[in-house]
Amino acid sequence: MSVNHLPGERAPKVLVTGATGFIGRQIVRAFLDRGWRVMASVHKTPLPGWMTAAGVVPVEFSLDDLTPLAEAMRGVQAVCHAAAFLPPDNSDSQYANRCLEVNALLALRLAELAVERPGTRFLYLALATDTAAPDAPCDENQLVYPADHAPSYLTSKLAGEIFVEHQRRMRGLAALSLRVGSCYGPGMPERSVVSIFLKRARAGQTVTVHDGGTATCDLVYVGDVAKIAVCAAESGDPGVYNVGSGTASSILELARAATETYPQTHAPIEVLPPAQGPASGLP
């Protein structure tokens, strides 16, 4: 399938969930830049002024009533499900229910709604595989078993991918699950490792690296993720795709890159010894 770009009311339309989030904002901008009409789900956070000014249509809904989303999906060419719940504490299991409700069950309900609208392409921002050895990139067939770090969040994202894939395989949904790596860029959460390292390096403060700095991640720029999402909405075979650089970077390498970005501050790097158990990946 290929979407033709037409002016005004004839332009293709997309519904984006999680439009006010870090990645969602960039996805909305990328769709607008490509001439799409954008509808954006609004759950708790209102749309920023620039989206309203650009003609983005808000769709208010609650998790208990998806009727507004079901109505908004009528006549759209694509749905991009970027909404996600990130627990404030990945070690606290009390957030497991919320993770499953938002990251897995909402994905399932939206995918089922999309099935009822033949021709609708469904994009799901899924779990990065993050299972490759430090010197080898992983592919889409790599075993995914997120038992070490952030199990509530990662397991719920994996469950969402499985639900979406089931709708693709069994019911013919044109679904593309995009396994996004460790995303960074403008607007990234302040508690992300990239943000923390850069802020401390800029201030000349010690950049502390835990677990010996051996944990690895696949860093991917948020703007590239947004462009790929638009490409996936316009064409390409349904299925599961990794979205990343294909290169594993260690946390220590990331710390060094941060301090090299601000060489004038001479920020030192402190490497703490590995803790017991497996090293955690980049949050």
Q: Is 148 exposed, middle or buried (0-12, 13-18, 19+ CB in 10 A)?
A: middle
Enumerate residues 6+ apart whose C-beta is below 8 A from 198. Answer: 258, 261, 262
Nearest alpha carbon to residue 102 among 114, 84, 122, 75: 84
Give the model's pLDDT for residue 253.
Answer: 95
10-residue mean pLDDT series, the chain (283 residues): 54 96 97 98 91 96 93 96 92 94 96 96 83 56 75 93 98 97 92 94 96 88 97 96 89 96 96 68 44
Q: ∠ at Cα 133 (156, 191), nearest 5°?
A: 50
Sequence-distant (≥ 6) Cβ neighbours of residue 204 within 8 angstroms = 262, 265, 266, 267
> Are residues 273 and 212 in contact, defined by beta-carbon separation less than 8 angstroms?
yes
Helices 22-33, 222-234: axis angle to 10 degrees equals 50
Is 218 within 8 Å of 249 (Cβ atoms)? yes
Q: What is the DSSP letter of 10?
A: G
pLDDT at position 5: 52
CA-to-CA separations, 93 to 22, 40, 99, 231, in angstroms, rounded: 24, 30, 10, 36
